[in-house]
Amino acid sequence: MRRITLASVPGATSIAAQRWPVGCDIAIVLTGTEENREVRRRYTVRSVIEDTLVVDAVLHGHGPGSTWAAGLEVDDAVTFLGPRGEIPPPTADWVVALTDESGLPAVAALAESLERELPVFAEITDDAEVYPLPPNAPVRWLPRNGQPAGSVELLTSALDEVRPGTGTGYAYVIGESRAVVALRDSLGRFGLTRSDVYAKGYWNLNSRPTR
C-alpha cells in the first residue's frame, strides 16, 4: 500500500471547496499507458486535509494503476475526476465489514464517520501490511501468507467468527468482484438478504493485465 497526497495547483478546481462524501472515490487519468488510450483507475478518498486529498493505493504489481502508484514522485502532475459515489452509513442494529486491501481505505473512512463500532475482517498480503483503522473499527486481520489475492476462502472461513447482534444486521463487503458476490450470498446464514449488504467489487481477478 502506498499513501499518496494530492494537492490542488493554481488554476485547478480547489479541493477544499468541493464536497467529498464518505467513501467517495476519484478516477485517476493515466493517459497513454494502454496503447495510447486514456486509462482511468479508481481510488477511494481516504481523507481530505485542508486543500489535499489522501488516497492509499495497493501495489499489487500489475496494471497501470499499481505502476502509477509505485512510480509517483513528489511534484508529479496528476489528473483525476471526482468525487464519485458514496458509502451509506448503517442504520441496522448490528454491522460488520469484510474487505481485502483495496477496500481498507473505504472502510477506514466509513468507520471514521460513525459514532458506533464497525467490526472489520480484512484480508491482507501478510502481517506487514496491517493498515491503520480508527479505534472504533476492531479488526481481525487475515493474512494470505503467499496465497494469491482474489480468492474467497479466507473471508468465508472468517464468517465463523462474525458475532451477529440482535435485531437487524448490515454488512459492507468490498474486494474482488466474484469473491464479493460469493461472500454476499454466504451472509444469508446471518439472515442478511441482498438489500442488507453493501457489496462492491473493486477489482476483477481476470481483468487483462496491462503494463
Ligand X SMILES: Cc1cc2nc3c(=O)[nH]c(=O)nc-3n(C[C@H](O)[C@H](O)[C@H](O)COP(=O)(O)OP(=O)(O)OC[C@H]3O[C@@H](n4cnc5c(N)ncnc54)[C@H](O)[C@@H]3O)c2cc1C
Alpha-carbon distances, residue 159 vs 81, 97, 120, 125 (angstroms): 36, 11, 11, 19
- By CB under 6 A, name the one of 65, 83, 90, 169 that touches ligand X: 65
Within 10 A of 103 (CB to CB), how many other CB atoms are there? 28
Distance, C-alpha 44 to centroid of its chain:
6
Q: How many residues bind ligand X (CB under 6 A)?
A: 26
User: Could you tell me the smallest distance in angstroms from the CB atom of residue 104 to ligand X?
Assistant: 8
Assess 58 for contact with ligand X (CB under 6 A): yes
Assess 21 for contact with ligand X (CB under 6 A): no
User: Could you tell me the smallest distance in angstroms from the CB atom of residue 191 to ligand X?
Assistant: 27
Q: Tell me the Ramachandran region of residue 15: left when phi exceeds 0, alpha when psi lies from -120 to 50, beta otherwise.
A: alpha
> Angle 103-43-148 (CA atoms, 0-180°, nearest 5)?
50
* Stretch in the footprint of ligand X (CB under 6 A) among 132-140, 160-168, 177-185, 201-209: 201-209
- Scan residues 133-172 and list those touching ligand X (CB under 6 A): 149
User: Could you tell me the smallest distance in angstroms from the CB atom of residue 208 to ligand X?
Assistant: 7
Assess 198 for contact with ligand X (CB under 6 A): no
N-terminal to C-terminal alpha carbon distance within the chain:
19
Assess 66 for contact with ligand X (CB under 6 A): yes
* Stretch in the footprint of ligand X (CB under 6 A) among 53-61, 163-171, 180-188, 190-198: 53-61
Assess 205 for contact with ligand X (CB under 6 A): yes
474486494: which residue's cell? 175
Burial (0-12, 13-18, 19+ Cβ within 10 Å), 169: buried
Interface residues with ligand X (CB under 6 A) are 25, 41-44, 55-58, 60, 62-66, 85, 102, 105, 149, 202-205, 207, 209-210
